[in-house]
Amino acid sequence: MTSRHTYLLALLLLLAACSKPTVQIDPVDRRVDSLLSLMTLEEKIGQMNQLEGAWVNDDLDGQIRAGQVGALLNVVGAEKVNHYQHIAVEQTRLGIPLLLGRDVIHGYKTIYPIPLAQGATWNPDLIREAAEMTAREATSDGVRWVFSPMVDVARDPRWGRVAEGYGEDTYLTSVMGRATVIGYQGADSLDAPIDGQHVAACVKHFAGYSASEGGRDYNTTNIPEQQLRDIYLPPFQAALRAGAGSIMCSFNDISGIPSSANRHLNIDILRNEWGSRAMLVSDWGSGSDLVAHGYAANRREAAYDCISARMEMDMQGLVYQDYLKQMVDSGIVTMEQVDDCVRSILRLKMRLGLFEHPYAESTPDFYADDALLLARRVATESTILLKNDTLDGQPLLPLHGVKRVLVCGPLADAQKEQLGTWIFDGEPEHSITPLQALHEPGTGLEVTYEPGLTYSRDTDLSGIDRVVKAAASADVILYFAGEEAILSGEARCRADITLPGAQAEMMHRLHLTGKPVVLVVMAGRPLAIPDEIGQADAVLYALHGGTMAGPALADVLTGLAVPSGRLPITMPRMVGQIPIYYNHKSTGRPATTPILLDDIPIGAPQFSIGQSSYWLETGDKPLFPFGYGLSYTTFSYGPVQIDETEAKTGDVLRISCDITNDGSRDAQEVAQLYVRQQAGECRPVRELKGFKKVSIPAGQTVNVCFELDTRNLAYWHADLTNRADPSAFQTWIAPDSRSGQPVEFTITE
């Protein structure tokens, strides 16, 4: 009897057994159980094994043929995908197709701005479009599973992976992560099939990875349960509720328990509390890393710890392939534990339709015009105008009436660097740099180019003399500074977040020329650059903007586009302020009037300058707050209106205000809804509870209205109950996390 007849017979028997009136079994579950019933233990363990498919492993063919592999990563292109898929489908006993994953983090071939910049758009619809377009490109090359979105809420810009998330706020990250999942998978639904033009998402890294001590990657974290649940977990819930097909463990331990072995995280919360059925895959070797963590005594114990925490697929850790069979045979691991893992894996493969359509058609669809246009839109909307001084009676930007510009700096013409971190498939030669874009005839600019520094860490000052010389014949200097792509991303943490190399010196020398300087920063994180910003006359913070960063910046510089980006993360004055974030607690001594170090009288008596919570060098405030960004117009906010000043938990409050565009340019504004609970378990001074990016024509007024469900004021208390308190509250509708006039309301019960 062939395997297919066995399979059909088992299915018929199962159908017969199910003929009695019982609870409806999901047809996919029925298919999964039917297939599972045919599998040997070795075949089940094979499904739980993911191997790297491009450069690490040899004899992949043989391992796949032996049923020892359930998934690969880093195999792209129809030819390679189908080579391995043919072996799995046609040369193994049950013909179970492979799952093939790839790090598609912010675009596939067309590269979009890094996720931190995508967070700066505050435009989830746009980000969903970018994810869907990314899925179109990736699936045209055989990719069906992407290790994205990363929803690690990051408050520490020293951490290299701050580039890969959507910033420091839980709500903004939740909204952006959810939008990305829906774009990738093509639906907002728990178990909806994922068609051939869409990919399965893998929300990561579960959990608390971004709280790594010292902003040092892979480092330990100490996260109180309430903070874990209030700050770090909600974006994962949001992504899973949108139907994310998979979720990835994080490398860190939480207070001593590494995530891959964390039963509380992976079973109590993910499975039992949330009821998630997403497939849980390790991070690269994070299972075998338990030995390096000093958590498991050896790799065998590591395998036991991982299966005990229901880590379902082992990405290149090899602990399941090496030890799981003997542990099941010896009874210390049950077949049920294995079956639970394999069910998740088979269900995801069925959601992707891999049993029906395992093979990739070779229809590469890269760099299409609509994809490039979309990438340009995202890069434009992610650009943040931080400063725009008025010179000769008008703001320096946009460059109206300017003819001669000097383009300089190590990021002005850096095709690879502007793509940012985590670029596997994007090709730098397709990048359009700021220099190339500004040379376009349509800009009306006469462009002179002198890099000054050839790469961001360059310390050779000789080129700066040439820039200073060239400045003499320029009307405006456009200085493109920032970080090479390699200085951000995984394992790229910096203890000093200033401009690398001699870029600060170059800014100083440009300032001394007396010519207007526009500083454009293209980096993978917020940088602590107060002096450079002080010396510049205008500042655009663009982060790494991807393939179309150049045209987007040219559009903003020339005024074709009005900047609408807002900071998704606080910009510190100096690294010593970290961690510094907007939704901090008040403390018992909030900073009132800080006396700064240079203002302290010599010999001042110990208690003569007051005591409150700030740093002597900087005060308590960052360089720029979360949510901040300027425009080419100005907006004025009317008084906040609230429909009820007394409410009960469960009521929905309507909070609104008028916003007027006072200028002569149509523009977008990001209205932000914040609340503060006045009395509770030391609540944040502000919390973002909503935002709307609204287009307001020049001179017009729009009314922005938020519905605040008071159940969203709940938080995790020390007794680990999640509830809202009766309390007085303040609420703002404001342009950033430090502005606005609040109104009060009270929750009475």
Mind telling me the catalytic residues? 283
CA distance 352 to 746: 48
Collapse the DSSP code of 175 into the 3-class scheme (helix H, G, I; strand E, B; otherwise coil) and give the result: helix
Residue number with CB closer to ligand GLC (200 or 557): 200
Beta carbons of 305 and 290 less than 8 angstroms apart: yes
Sheet holding 279-281, edge to edge: 202-206, 246-249, 279-281
> In the β-sheet with 49-52, what is the strand arrangement from edge to edge?
145-146, 99-102, 71-73, 49-52, 314-315
Q: Which residues contact ligand GLC by CB under 6 A?
A: 73, 103, 147, 204, 283-284, 490
Q: How far, in Å, CA of 168 to CA of 150, rounded? A: 13
SS3 of 417-486: the string is: HHHCCCCCCCCHHHCCCHHHHHHCHHHCCEEEECCCCCCCCCCCCHHHHHHHHHHCCCCEEEEEEECCHH
Rounded CA gap, 660 and 701, in Å?
4
Please classify residue 696 by burial: count the beta carbons closer than 10 Å to its beta carbon, then call 0-12 exposed, 13-18 middle and 19+ buried. buried
β-pairing, 394-395 with 404-408?
unpaired
Report, in Å, the least distance between residue 551 CB and ligand GLC. 29
* Residue 314 to residue 586: CA distance in whole angstroms: 43
Euclidean distance between CA atoms 47 and 370, whole angstroms: 38
Considering the complex, state which of residue 54 and residue 560 has its C-beta at the smaller distance from ligand GLC.
54
Q: Is 716 helix (H, G, I), strand (E, B) or coil?
A: strand
What is the distance between the terminal CA atoms of the chain, rounded to a whole angstrom? Answer: 68
| Rounded Cα gap, residues 478 and 550, in angstroms | 13
| Paired tokens of 573 | 């004055």
C-beta neighbour count of 51 within 10 angstroms = 24
Whether cis (ω within 30° of 0) applies to the bond prior to 398 is yes
Q: For residues 62 and 68, what is the distance between their CA atoms, to the nearest angstrom?
A: 9
Instruction: Please give the structure tokens belonging to residue 224.
Output: 């109180």
With H, G, I as helix, E, B as strand and everything else as coil, classify residue 236: helix
User: What pairs with residue 727 in β-bridges?
Assistant: 747
Question: Which residues are CB-contacts of 476 (< 8 A; sequence separation ≥ 6)?
Answer: 396, 399, 402, 404, 405, 406, 515, 516, 517, 518
CA distance 547 to 430: 6
* Residue 142 contacts residue 360 (beta carbons within 8 Å): yes
Max distance between CA atoms of the chain, in angstroms, equals 95
Output DSSP code: residue 696: E
Please compute Rg for the chain using Cα positions: 27
CA 221/CA 374 separation, integer angstroms: 38
Report the distance separating Cα 133 and Cα 370, nearest Å.
9
Spatial separation of the C-alpha atoms in residues 101 and 180, rounded to whole Å: 17
Continuous segment of H or E residues that includes residue 729: strand 727-734
Complete DSSP assignment for 292-355: HHTSSSSHHHHHHHHHHTT--BEES--HHHHHHHHHHHTTSS-HHHHHHHHHHHHHHHHHTTTT
Residue with tokens 């072995």: 261
Collapsing DSSP to helix, strand or coil, 242 comes out as: coil
Q: How far apart are CA 453 and CA 464, in angstroms?
A: 7
